[in-house]
Structure 1
Amino acid sequence: MNIHEYLQDKKHLVDEYLPSFLEQKAIPSHLKEAMLYSLEAGGKRLRPILTLSVLESFGKRAEVGLEAACALEMVHTYSLIHDDLPSMDDDDLRRGKPTNHKMFGEATAILAGDALLTLSFQVIAQSSIYSPDQKVALLSLLAEAAGAEGMVAGQTVDMESENKDLTLEELQFIHERKTGRLLEASVLFGAILANASEADVEQLRSFSRHLGIAFQIQDDILDVMGDPELMGKSAGSDEHNLKSTYPKLLTLGGAKEQLDRHLALSKDNLKMADVDPVILEGIADYIVSRNH
């Protein structure tokens, strides 16, 4: 299997499906334009693809997970819009294009993010495919992953930690929440929709947590040595914002060692789950070797 072709096929599926959730909604035109601007700006779509891939690893049809997968991408997109705001990371570029607030102003950007976040819950709650029990499980997991115990917690501590020297444990606390929780939810969404056993859910949870740390370490490495043209944003933003990173704490070589360690641990957990591991191993390898 060619993992790059697989990822492109699934990305195309998600890209086609995402705008359909806004097309028939009575949304003010300027707000809808801002929502679609960021939602259709591209990106790797790793979170929704993980949901679809986990379903396939259990022998289920990927299409079953499209609504839940797109809800995850809406939450991720909202977080990027808000992350780029002047009061947060103050970025001018995202995926090679002007950030949302540069195009539509801060107020509309904030509201577009808010609208995408709440629409994600609506998509799952109003699904005609998922059972009531599945909806409750998905919504509960998404709220926890995105909220004050998850992504928002990580973002808060990340902002409070600027211009401070963090320990490795403190840095990992931030990234397990800011980045890891939504990746974990992406994997567990697929497990929920596949009606996976409790034992398999726990192995996939551990797989996703190590994968989330590996994802962030590679992000930190790319911020140091990545190609801005490939990344679609300026390199060195972490240093500019006085953030602690894995290369800063461990050196570049030490960060790469930790990257390899967490990749190996993620694959160990995956092998203990009753799934076909080929696709998920391929995605894990892609995450740690990507150049943007």
Structure 2
Amino acid sequence: MASALMTSSMNTPLHHHSKTPLGKPKVAPNPKASHVPKSSSLDQAENLTIKSNNNNPFPEIQIDEYMTLKAKKINKALFEGAAVPLILQYPTLPNHEGERVHGTLCIASCELVGGNESSVMPLACAAEMLVTLALNRALLCYAVEHMATKTKNVSPDRLVRAIGEISSAVGTRGVLAGRIMEINSKGKDVSLSELDFIQRLRCGKLIEASVVCGVLIGGGSEEDIEKLRKYGKCVGLAYQVWDDILDNMKKKKEAGDDKATYPKLMGVAGAKRYAKELVAEANQELAYFDSARAAPLYHLADFLVSRHK
């Protein structure tokens, strides 16, 4: 029986559950698929090795090198650039060395639509600050201040929209709501649609917002925003599904651990299939864009459901 403490909207099934597993994204010779924005820092490929792959519509890149490079730049902006005051720096450290998933997705989506890394960096930093919000509430105020005062060469309406997007992702329409629902659901029978609803808010909403903010700051169109919002929703949920799988593999069930997880609900093998389907669905949204520019987002999504930590 579904938890009576869940909101009524949680009982609404998500449409993608009834779909058959999705394969690799199809890139049709659509005129829209030649969507090539103005030049950006991605054009130089930042010394990353790129090669073609006949089995993959997106060029191969060294995704580990790409993520490490972006993480270093985000860390430099956060710490060396004094984006975060010393007293707040400790809780802003990444969970894993070199990992800056939210900020990297923000930069990659900005560059996809032709934006510049320098313009979106304050938003990427703010996304990383908000990831650690549970550890340091003061970062919420500072993140908003940082976005408002440090973002340059972006129209005010786009900046305000981006600030609203990422700020709401951690409030009652995002992380906070998801955490409350997760607590209230402990010990209850939770369906897949209910668990998805919780985790789209608790974990996925901030990833979705990070992607959307990149598109906004990069000057993307409304169509660009909606396509990449769908990408972000799927990637955000896949990220949490994979986290549940990793947690299940590395620790035994603890006493009193009655939190609903994907492996508990559908088994490890089923959870892995579900995560891969979500990533395939996300990557279908990238078919509209130039494949070379979309390659980082494509490989980032695959990385999130193949990582070991």
TM-score bracket for the superposition, by shorter chain length: 0.7 to 0.9
2-structure distance, mates of 1:50, 1:246:
24
Map of 1:290 onto structure 2? 307
Q: Is the 8 A contact 1:52 1:63 kept in 2?
A: no
Map of 1:248 onto structure 2? 264
1-structure distance, mates of 2:199, 2:170:
13
Q: 1:279 to 1:240 in 2, by over 3 A?
A: farther
Q: What displacement does 1:128 show?
A: 4.9
Q: 1:119 to 1:236 in 2, by over 3 A?
A: farther
SS at match of 2:238: helix
Alignment RMSD (CA, Å) = 1.8
Which residue of 7, 20, 40 corresponds with 2:67?
Answer: 7
Q: Is the 8 A contact 1:220 1:247 kept in 2?
A: yes
Q: Is the 8 A contact 1:151 1:182 kept in 2?
A: yes
Q: Is the 8 A contact 1:213 1:262 kept in 2?
A: yes
What does 1:1-292 align with in structure 2 at a 5 Å threshold? 1-19=61-79, 20-23=82-85, 32-33=86-87, 35-43=88-96, 44-79=99-134, 81=135, 113-129=136-152, 130-226=154-250, 235-236=251-252, 241-273=257-289, 276-292=293-309
Higher RCO (C-alpha under 8 Å, 6+ residues apart): 2
Instruction: Indicate the percent of aligned positions where both proteins have the same amino acid.
Output: 32
2-structure distance, mates of 1:286, 1:121:
29
Q: What displacement does 1:61 show?
A: 2.3
TM-score (norm 2): 0.75
For 1:85-105, what per-residue CA distance to the aligned partner results, in whole angstroms no more than 9, with x for missing partners? xxxxxxxxxxxxxxxxxxxxx
SS at match of 2:102: helix
Instruction: Return the letter of the residue paired with 1:21.
Output: A
Unaligned runs of at least 5 residues, structure 2: 1-60
2-structure distance, mates of 1:240, 1:222:
19
For 1:211-233, what per-residue CA distance to the aligned partner results, in whole angstroms no more than 9, with x for missing partners? 1111111000000114xxxxxxx
Aligned residues between the structures: 243
Q: Is the 8 A contact 2:106 2:213 kept in 1?
A: yes
Instruction: Return the letter of the residue paired with 2:240.
Output: Q
Structure whose alpha-carbon radius of gyration is higher: 2
Q: Is the 8 A contact 1:207 1:267 kept in 2?
A: yes
Q: Is the 8 A contact 1:38 1:77 kept in 2?
A: yes
Q: 1:197 to 1:157 in 2, by over 3 A?
A: same
Q: What displacement does 1:241 show?
A: 2.9
Q: What displacement does 1:237 show?
A: 6.9
1-structure distance, mates of 2:285, 2:252:
33
Map of 1:105 onto structure 2? none
2-structure distance, mates of 1:279, 1:201:
17
1-structure distance, mates of 2:187, 2:276:
28
Instruction: Return the letter of the residue paired with 1:199.
Output: E
Q: 1:169 to 1:42 in 2, by over 3 A?
A: closer
Q: 1:166 to 1:39 in 2, by over 3 A?
A: same
Q: What displacement does 1:274 show?
A: 5.7
For 1:36-82, what per-residue CA distance to the aligned partner results, in whole angstroms no more than 9, with x for missing partners? 11113553110000111112222332222111110111111113x2x
Q: Is the 8 A contact 1:52 1:190 kept in 2?
A: yes
TM-score (norm 1): 0.79
For 1:243-286, what per-residue CA distance to the aligned partner results, in whole angstroms no more than 9, with x for missing partners? 11111011111111111111110111121346722110110111
